[in-house]
Structure 1
Amino acid sequence: MAVLIEAINIKRKTLFELDNAPYACLDSDITTPTARGGQTLVRLKMRNLLTSAVFEKTFKASDKFKEPDLQLVPASYLYSDGEGSHFLDQESYETLTLDEGMIGNALDFLTEGALIQLHKYNGNPIGLQLPMFVELNVTYAEPAARGDSSSGSGTKLAKLETGLEIRVPPFIKEGEKVKVATETGEFAGRADKS
């Protein structure tokens, strides 16, 4: 028997199933009535993990949801082609393919062999979870304007090995490795030298 989650217990980042689709809660708001006999309502802002659609819906506090059959499996990025992006499941060693809709902008942050977490729903790949930060090589950096580096202010454009262009501080040079925040696509510092 599947575990049931009551609407009132669904918090941010909770995963639940509605209409045979997996959802992630982005925000929840509980409204308690002042009149006797009124029902407590829970307004959920949620993302459909299959379509990435985000919407809000109100439920009764006692409404119950199944826990989705979701798994996070470690996988490494292999390559992309006309069929989609291919990953190697690190547990079963099978190749899993995700189409463009499931990938979103993840290719901006993925290099060959990069390890990520792959979401599987009912055994099928539906999306991926990037690490908070990735380290990428700078393949091109604009020359710093004279006087920029001493004041420490200002940024310049840099192109990374995945083709992603970001703003970096003037002291970053071509060939360096930088840390990029995957949520915002912004520069997050120099990569640790290993």
Structure 2
Amino acid sequence: MAVLIDAIDVKRKTLFELENTPYACLEAEVTSPTARGAQTLVRLKMRNLLTSAVFEKTFKANDKFKEPDLQIVPASYLYSDGDGSHFLDQESYETLTLTDKMVGNALDFLIEGALIQLHKYNGNPIGLQLPIFVELDVVYAEPGSRGDSSSGSGTKLAKLETGLEIRVPLFIKDGEKVKVSTENREFAGRA
């Protein structure tokens, strides 16, 4: 029997199923009315894990949700082609293909062999989760000179091996490996 989750127990990052669709809670706000007999309401900001659509909806505190049949499996990135992006499930050694929509902008951070977490819903791949930081090689860094602080930040543009362009400190050179945050797409240090 599926586990049921009360709406009032849904917190940030909780996964739940509504109308046979998996969702992730982004924010939860409980409103307790002052009038007697009025019901406590829970306002959820949630992301549809199949379409990535984000919206808000209000539920009664005692509304129940099913726990989704979600699995997170380790996988490694193989390559991308016209059919989509291909990953190797590290447990079953099965090749799984995700559409461009499922992958989103994750290709900016993926090189061949990169390990990620693949999300499966009812046994089918629906998306992926990148690590917080990835290490990528700098293929081109603008020349920066010591007195180049006209922008005030002391950074320059660098192109990484995936094609992603980020701002890096002036001391970073071509061929260096840098650590990049996948959340804000910014330089996080040398690797």
Structures share a fold, TM > 0.5?
A: yes
Superposition deviation, residue 147 in structure 1: 1.9
SS of the counterpart of 2:8? helix
What is the alpha-carbon root mean square deviation over aligned residues?
1.1
**2:58 match:** 58
User: 2:98 is matched by which residue type in structure 1?
Assistant: L
- State the alpha-carbon separation in 1 of the partners of residues 80 and 184 from structure 2: 23
SS of the counterpart of 2:166? strand
User: 1:16 is matched by which residue type in structure 2?
Assistant: F
SS of the counterpart of 2:102? helix
**1:106 match:** 106
User: 1:3 is matched by which residue type in structure 2?
Assistant: V
| Unaligned runs of at least 5 residues, structure 1 | none
**1:15 match:** 15
**TM (normalized to structure 1)?**
0.96
- State the alpha-carbon separation in 2 of the partners of residues 153 and 25 from structure 1: 36
User: 1:14 is matched by which residue type in structure 2?
Assistant: T
SS of the counterpart of 1:105? helix
**2:92 match:** 92
Superposition deviation, residue 154 in structure 1: 1.6
**TM (normalized to structure 2)?**
0.97
User: 1:28 is matched by which residue type in structure 2?
Assistant: A
| Unaligned runs of at least 5 residues, structure 2 | none
Superposition deviation, residue 153 in structure 1: 4.1
- State the alpha-carbon separation in 2 of the partners of residues 187 and 94 from structure 1: 34
**1:170 match:** 170
Superposition deviation, residue 146 in structure 1: 4.0
**1:118 match:** 118
User: 2:9 is matched by which residue type in structure 1?
Assistant: N
Superposition deviation, residue 167 in structure 1: 0.5
